[in-house]
Amino acid sequence: MKKYSKKVILALDTTDTQKINFLFKELSGIIEIIKIGYQSFIHFGPDIVQKAIGAGFKVFLDLKLHDIPNTIEKAIESCIKHRIHMVTLHVSGGREMIEKAISAKQQFKSDIKLLGVTVLTSFDDIGFKELNYRLPLKEMVKFFAVKAKMWGMDGIICSPMEIKDLRQEIGKNLLIITPGIRFDKGQDDQKRTLSPNEAFEAGADYIVVGRPILKSDNPKNFFENI
């Protein structure tokens, strides 16, 4: 359990301070990385990052950046100054945007991990078709993953169901991080899900888990079944 618990990233999708204090206390020593996304970052601002770091966690800032290259370069500089460990960027932002992010990283000799978002795990084929991309969802995920590698990113975010195929395409060195983790299927908006054990077996380096831990009265329970 311990070996794999460090590979679970908690998605801190809450603005409840009491709950956050409770989770930090309960999960200290069990997990290493806390993912801070829109909900908690917009509510608390950078204080929540400092709070997590102060509690001994590394921070994965999941703001799924997508903007003009110069803005992204400056955003990555700020991430580095705030001691962010991992940050997400949409691969669809394009080569120039990703290259600027990498140049900020190199300039500050930082080891921040730049992670490429492929296609959000909440999409299924029907929803994705409405966007009118030339390739179907699965092919598009592969396309973005290959570009992330080609452009020098450190890892990708994808659905657990895509891991096996993608490993073959991108090799061993790129980190694969996957949300969409559920012990039971069909509970909410996540459509392309696997269980934690299935995701690790398929080759995930880390899994991101939010609601299955956040909604539980005993957050440690989740780790008993891994």
**So which residues are the catalytic ones?**
64
Can you tell me the distance from the alpha carbon of 212 to that of 192, in angstroms, rounded to the nearest whole number? 15
Q: Which of 22/70 has CB closer to ligand C5P?
A: 22
Residue from the set 190, 192, 206, 207 that interacts with ligand C5P by CB under 6 A = 190
Question: Could you say which DSSP state residue 124 is in?
Answer: -
Stretch that binds ligand C5P, among 26-34, 89-97, 116-124, 141-149 (CB under 6 A): 116-124
User: Contact between 13 and ligand C5P (CB under 6 A)?
Assistant: yes
- Output b/e per residue, 183-214; b: 16+ Cβ within 10 A: eeeeeeebbbbbbbeebbebebebbbbbbbbb
Residue from the set 57, 210, 222, 223 that interacts with ligand C5P by CB under 6 A = 210
Interface of this chain with ligand C5P, residues 128 to 167, rule: CB under 6 A: 157
User: Contact between 37 and ligand C5P (CB under 6 A)?
Assistant: yes
Residues that bind ligand C5P (CB under 6 A): 11, 13, 37, 62, 117, 120-121, 157, 179, 181, 190, 208-211
